[in-house]
Amino acid sequence: MTQTHAFAKPKVELHVHLDGSIKPETILYFGRKRGIALPADTAEELQNAIGMDRPLSLPSFLAKFDLYMPVIAGCREAIKRIAYEFVEMKAKEGVVYVEVRYSPHLLANSKVEPIPWNQAEGDLTPDEVVDLVNQGLQEGEKAFNVKARSILCCMRHQPNWSLEVLELCKKYHQQTVVAIDLAGDETIEGSSLFPGHKAAYEGAMKSGIHRTVHAGEVGSAEVVREVRSCCPWAPSSCLSPYFPHLLLPTSPQAVDILKTERLGHGYHTLEDEALYHRLRQENMHFEVCPWSSYLTGAWKPETEHPVIRFKNDQANYSLNSDDSLIFKSTLDTDYQMTKRDMGFTEEEFKRLNINAAKSSFLPEDEKRKLLNQLYSAYELLLPEATTGMLHSGPWVVTLPWLLFGFLRDF
């Protein structure tokens, strides 16, 4: 019997990794074609070998990629295909807009130091990787009627790659690239502060490239402080030259370094109530991945999940699948989990998806069209405010807005 979806309406997904969302059948195909050994001979066995059934540490989770990434990296046909099939998977999950992220360097085998996954040197550069992913996503968009954009990842353990990631973001901006990310092992102490990452994010801000960062997943609130944004539309001290009447005191511990606009995960922000309050005032968007947070140990089941606090506070957040291959899941897994175990309602699912659309990195005109699509599908009146500025600024969708068409300020 086919399982009923927890939320059978159009969805927006902002935090999902391309290299963690590959079909096992595709991995098997290229393993055989390229003569690269895999830990299993059938798709089901491979899924079980790669997938997680119980919580592991974040570093142990990241080690899962070693099992299959050598099959995909360095292969033009494979890279374009996984991007195309990714859009197909999202269409089946009811996603109408997705921002998928990946590291160009981890898929390359030329002009990258060190060459990842113990590959021999080849001729596939990070630049060509981005072009191939763009081709696959764009062909998938046409075939499956899903709008797909991409985010290029810097890797915490390789700050020497980050400036090239910035240049690729600039070169391929809006083809499909919309933003830069910092991913990888958050337990590497001080990695947000590495000069390569700082320089890339400073350059991104100057160049108008949107920014998100994995922070506060397994790391403490201090990691979030390192990357938190001084949101350009928020009533904070960064606006004091223009709006002195909105000046708020700056926490002496708060350090704007990477100036992120969204937080990947961000759960441990709740360890610091002052920081959390400040981020809510700035309308920071939390890219929440509930099932992932359980399997990576980011959330301990004996405690209340941070997303419940986000829901109760009517904060700005989304639900996301993160790495469906490794977590043996779909986006519906996260919706089922929050509906079954945390009391989420259809109204809350609508609210969080509208907030996801507002916090997306689309240009304003495309964001407006996406919001129109959601409001129509949700049978809600479109607030007049969305016909103007759609920057993910000081406004956040709350339940009164959804039900009655009003906006609520923090």
Query: Is residue 36 in some structural domain?
Result: yes
Q: Which residue has the tokens 């033009």?
A: 76
List, for residues 353-388, the tens digit of each pLDDT value: 999 999 999 999 999 999 999 999 999 987 765 544
Residues of the chain under the 70 pLDDT cut: 1-3, 217-256, 384-410
- Residue 325 is which amino acid? L
Q: Is residue 182 part of a domain?
A: yes
- Catalytic position from the list 99, 141, 164, 217: 217
The parent domain of residue 83 ranges over: 11-409
The CATH number covering residue 117 comes to 3.20.20.140
Number of structural domains in the chain: 1
Q: Residue 222 catalytic? A: no
Residue 397 lies in a domain: yes
| Residue 3 falls inside a structural domain | no
Has residue 2 been placed in a domain? Answer: no
Structural domain contains residue 63 = yes
State the residue for tokens 């494979």: 78
pLDDT of residue 226: 56
324-349 pLDDT, tens per residue?
Answer: 999 999 999 999 999 999 999 999 99
